[in-house]
Amino acid sequence: MSATLKEIAQRVGRSVTTVSRALAGYDDVSEETRTLVRQVAQEMGYEPNIAARQLQKQRSDTLAIIVPTFGPRFSDPFFSELLAGLGNEAARHGFDLLVSTRPPGDDEQATYLKNIRSRRVDGFIIVRTRARDPRIELLQQHRFPFVAFGRTENELNYPYVDEDSEHGIRLVVEHLVQLGHTRLACLAAPPELMFARYRLRGFTETLQRHGMAVDPSLIVTGDLTQRQGRELAGQLLDRPNPPTAIVASNDLMALGAMSAAQERGLTVGRDISITGFDDIPPAEHAHPPLTTVNQPVYKIGTVVCQMLIKLILGQEIEQQQIIMQPSLVIRQSTGPAKPSEGRSDQ
């Protein structure tokens, strides 16, 4: 069906070697031969057999991302956007992107190992880094190329891109404090996720810096889904002395929290302030539009991808570790704290 070098060679009356070199653009092929070969290759719709080339070159020109996710369904716009960034950049460099989802755990490790050993891919993109991340340890141990989106606890010496979550949340909290809020709740994320720690730390430290007490009962942990944001925020709001502002660790939970507030007849931005993190498209188009922290996910995807490809090609990387500064996007889901509102006791 699709042509091989051999077939072209027969047609042009040259050896396979010569055809190969003509196509590869080597200059030790006569102008005449080169033109002829190229033309015939074109005519025959020649496209090199990937497997053969891989076997010979010991490279697959393929990148992999294994999205750590619980449950079969996942639908976070955050990931769609990251995938688009990674995929488009990979394509620009002639690389393919292999995507799979796998829950964290032993099976996950096995999948990495298998891909490494079978030479299935040339490098990995690691997302949602964990405090102590076995994936990174495994990859380092095998000296296998990878770039992470996120840091780890012990700050190993590996290439990563991350945004400064702590700073992002600081901006959020300061914005709320300026608006007069004093009872702030936090929808935190699972503490094994590094970004969750940074965001939580940004929350508590900024409050403390402003001389405000941190009420541990106002810090609850969710699984980053809209559903949980809605449930947990609901519980928070149903308490006798509810918070006047809710700082969510991601937009999805914030959006859920908005629903919870609205279900209780509250007007978001007036009766309660809610903030997110990520700035996914729905944040802008929610009602009211969500105040959040903009994280350039698409951009991060492209940068991560570029770094990984350089690593694979053995090129120099200018900067091995990149921290991007996120920015606060003030929309209408935040507003001044209501004058007195149930402070004091209770």
Rounded to a whole number of angstroms, the minimum distance from the CB of residue 53 to DNA is 4
Q: Measured over all CA atoms, what is the biggest interatomic distance in the chain, rounded to whole angstroms?
A: 94
Candidate list 48, 234, 282, 336; residue touching DNA; CB under 7 A: 48
**Cβ atoms of 315 and 282 closer than 8 Å:** no
Which residue's entry shows tokens 């700073």? Answer: 167
Q: Does 105 bind a copy of itself (CB under 8 A)?
A: no
Q: What 8-state DSSP symbol labels residue 288?
A: S
Rounded to a whole number of angstroms, the minimum distance from the CB of residue 228 to a copy of itself is 10
H-helix or E-strand spanning residue 236? helix 226-237
Cis peptide, bond prior to residue 288, ω within 30 of zero = yes
Cα–Cα distance for residue pair 259/158, rounded to 1 Å: 40
| Half-sphere exposure for 39 (CA within 13 Å, toward CB) | 8
Measured from the CB atom, is 29 or 194 closer to DNA?
29
Burial of 279 (0-12, 13-18, 19+ CB in 10 A): buried
Q: Does 79 bind a copy of itself (CB under 8 A)?
A: yes
Candidate list 57, 73, 143, 285; residue touching DNA; CB under 7 A: 57
Cα–Cα distance for residue pair 203/20, rounded to 1 Å: 60
Rounded to a whole number of angstroms, the minimum distance from the CB of residue 280 to a copy of itself is 6
Candidate list 10, 17, 178, 208; residue touching DNA; CB under 7 A: 17
Q: Which stretch binds a copy of itself (CB under 8 A): 24-32, 40-48, 185-193, 318-326?
A: 40-48
Candidate list 35, 49, 75, 267; residue touching DNA; CB under 7 A: 49
Q: Does 114 bind DNA (CB under 7 A)?
A: no
Q: Does 84 bind a copy of itself (CB under 8 A)?
A: yes
One-character DSSP codes across 205-234? HHHHHTT----GGGEEE--SSHHHHHHHHH
Q: Which does 30 bind (CB under 5 to 8 A by kind): DNA, a copy of itself, none?
A: DNA
Cα–Cα distance for residue pair 292/254, rounded to 1 Å: 9
Return the bridge partners of 65, or none: 99, 125
Measured from the CB atom, is 15 or 325 closer to DNA?
15
Backbone angles phi, psi at 181, to 5 degrees: -75, 140
Q: Does 6 bind DNA (CB under 7 A)?
A: yes
How many of the chain's residues bind a copy of itself (CB under 8 A)? 66
Q: Does 56 bind DNA (CB under 7 A)?
A: yes
Q: Which stretch binds DNA (CB under 7 A): 46-54, 84-92, 216-224, 315-323?
A: 46-54
| Positions that interact with DNA (CB under 7 A) | 4-6, 13-18, 20-21, 23-24, 27-33, 46, 48-49, 52-53, 55-58
